[in-house]
Amino acid sequence: MTSEEPPADDLSDPSYYLNRELSELSFQSRVLQQALDDRTPLLERVRFLAIVTKNLDEFFMKRIGGLKQQIEAGVTERTVDGRTPREQWEEAIDKARPMFEAQAQCYQDEIRPALADAGITIADYEDLSADQQAQMREYFETSVLPTLTPLSFDPAHPFPFISNLSLSLAVLTSRNGGDSTFTRVKIPQNRPRLVEVGESDENVVYVLLEEIIRANLDLLFPNVDVLETALFKLTRNAEVRRNEEVAEDLIDMIEEVIEQRRFATAVRLELEANAPESVTKLLIDQLDLDEREVIRLSGPLDYRELMDLTDLDRPDLSLTSWSPQPHSRFQGLDGGDLGVEDSDSIFDVIRRKDVLLHHPYHSFGDTVQRFLDEAASDPNVLAIKAAIYRTASDSKVIQSLIDAAENGKQVAAMVELKARFDEQNNLEWVRKLEEEGIHVAYGTIGLKTHTKTALVVREEADGVRLYSHVATGNYHSGTAKGYVDLGMLTADRDIGQDLVKVFNFFTGPALDEAFRKLLIAPVTMRDELTSYIRREAEHARAGRPARIVAKMNALEDPKIVEELYRASMAGVDIDLLVRDICRLRPGIEGRSENVSVRSIVSRFLEHSRIFYFENGARSASSQETGEAGDAGDPEYYIGSADWMTRNLDKRVEAVAPVEDRDIREQLRFILELGLADNTTAWEMQSDGSYERCEAGDDPVIETQSVLMEQALVAASDDSVTRGIPAKHEHVLETLLVESTATEETEESAEPEAESVDSTAPTPATNSDPEHVLDSFTEVWYVPDSAHYDYAIRTPDGDRVYRKTAEGAASVVKRLYSSN
């Protein structure tokens, strides 16, 4: 190894980069595998059938729709992986087609019969008894027929509009043997898709709504002959946009986009396998579709409503139920007498020590919601600010902001109107907030606001203090039960001041480009991440240990991928936990032998982002300090941004450093656990394919099950004072929480304090430096410095820096001890 600059190897070869669309479909294939795997509990297989339908619907609306737009615009530019829009469009549809077929076959051949064996029958209409058919005919006539509006296509009627993702029945009719007429009947979305026919102690029988309609068309079409029927589902492009810079009002623009989406270009037609050719040709012609865009399938064309079956009380067919647990740090709190010194409030807990939240293992309501609720009612809170990307339709988060405004607090909300498919919900919340007199920002030109951040400003005995929440997930109580996300609650003033700048940008003219601790996109994050990756490469070239471990949803940005290739070539060990899209190929000779890529697919959607840079820490004791590139402590970050071009350049994102030792320990464990998982992890091969990890004869390690167990232990064991114990007998500890360097004794004289904060707690007589520092977490922090490990805030607002724990403890005792 040498310290020379990395070789100028050409990394532009398209073979080094996987295609974004095909990589996303690989992830959807892994999700589908959960439904295909007969080891998965039956109702969980049903749930994954529904999830695959939802995910592929969105893929066609967003990704295929976008590619089709490019094709129609004549775009021929190749992506970094060497494909034109048309080539991507063709390959993506060809890769998706067998997934639809596998889904349908799995339902017909495995899941439906297994459900019937378990007493849950989804019956064909013709298999119902005469009494049951009579019951369904009455149901149709009284509860369904009045909602139907048949739309015919003939010389007197234009071809009917077919709405996006609607399930429809094409009906060919004839009067007195004359020419046939095409009529579209929309399957009503406000009626149950699974109609219960009958139930006994041992069996429940359902029939699909479209089959009830099909069997009783004589009531809808009297005095004509029904010749043929065919079920179909249409998908339209969701990539409709207006130029923000010429839009007079962002709200008007978003409303127009929502409306345009209804009439957007068709991008996929799913059709019953036995549909008559005349119906197929008519739909293709009238919807201006390519034959490639037609997918013929047997069985139901949409499995989303099958999700309702997972609500059945059948624990024998389901995974063990899970209830998010209270956080150990917040147990026993009642809020105290808010505003009174030493009250037992959530702010006291955060002020003493940062808190890591891990959803859905920790309850959203008892942590994030509690933070906002207490802020809304605390008389000492001056202001609350929050960035809302997605939230629940009955959001308690929004209600907290309203309550805060009614209690006289200054409230500011950033509600992102361009959050795709949540635009309508967010528009309604904007109007509600503005009706309550709350200042609402709802977008910035050219950028989406994707930060998951909130800020509480509170008047306290020693001045105004800032309490921050920096997270990886949305302020959404619903998704917090099914998405794996992290959040950090901190009273760190530097993070708070950074958030002040970010929130000021939402209503002000420009985004500041200087931040104390946070990495903020699009101004600092890309450059900082690039410098951290290059620093690891420099450590490796200098012969120091170097390692990167990154957990995210997607790794798509070509420039970051190239930096990772170069770091691997320099000798950096790189472990990537990437749930979804990954352009990087591991195991390429001379390029990425030092890279591993894993994807975890399990009951909860992995959504958290954690970034670890070892920073040469293992050899820090043998290095000179103070110069760029020299060894220091490992670094941990969490936040909202994936390593995608859109996140780094086109969104407002926030990633925070984690300095608290206990939180680092928990993040270390989460990363180690993902790397050790031998049950729900998939390992990427050098050709971009994935192989599922198998435990074999080794002890089973399943990430989400372990974390559920850890959350239960933390909630029930008083000796656990953090969110999870972060210890497991089969999970090795190879990542560092702090430098292994031997601390030098601090010899420099300490400055005398001009004044002493009489409200600060008195340290225990125990002289152990770590004990002293743990007693005074609110007055020191770990600075972003290659030379100093500790920064101590002085009572007069200045900073004192020290290299060692002993030196830092000495300063703390001198400044804040009354003994």
CA neighbours closer than 13 Å in the CB half-sphere of residue 146: 4
Q: State residue 521 phi and psi, 5-degree precision.
A: -90, 145
Say how far apart CA 111 and CA 109 lie, in whole Å: 7
Q: Compute the Cα dihedral for 633, 638, 639, 642 and give only its sign.
A: positive
Vertex 797: Cα angle to 794 and 798 (nearest 5): 65
Q: State residue 257 phi and psi, 5-degree precision.
A: -60, -45
Q: Compute the Cα dihedral for 793, 798, 802, 807 and give only its sign.
A: negative
By residue count, the chain amounts to 819
Say how far apart CA 807 and CA 795 lie, in whole Å: 18
Say how far apart CA 70 and CA 273 lie, in whole Å: 30
Say how far apart CA 673 and CA 733 lie, in whole Å: 9
Helix pair angle (65-72, 85-106), 10° resolution: 150
Locate all alpha helices (DSSP H) within 322-383, ordered by sequence: 346-352, 368-377
User: Would you call 304 helix, strand, or coil by DSSP?
Assistant: helix
Say how far apart CA 326 and CA 403 lie, in whole Å: 24
Which H or E run contains 131?
A: helix 130-139
For residue 584, the 8-state DSSP code is B
**Cβ neighbours of residue 614 closer than 8 Å, sequence gap 6 or more:** 536, 539, 545, 546, 547, 548, 634, 735, 736
CA diameter of the chain: 107
Say how far apart CA 166 and CA 146 lie, in whole Å: 18
Q: Are 466 and 761 in contact (CB under 8 A)?
A: no
Say how far apart CA 183 and CA 172 lie, in whole Å: 6
Say how far apart CA 169 and CA 209 lie, in whole Å: 11
Q: What does the DSSP assignment read for 476-507? A: -TTGGGTEEEEEEEE--HHHHHHHHHHHHHHH
DSSP tally for the chain: helices H, then strands E: 22, 30
Structure tokens at 494: 């530097």
Closest CA to 409 of 367, 458, 451, 448: 458
Q: Are 743 and 807 in contact (CB under 8 A)?
A: no
What spatial distance separates the first Cα and last Cα of the chain, rounded to whole Å?
53
Which residues belong to the active site?
A: 450
**Cβ neighbours of residue 114 closer than 8 Å, sequence gap 6 or more:** 42
Listing from the earlier edge strand, what are the strands of the sheet with 120-122?
Answer: 120-122, 204-208, 194-199
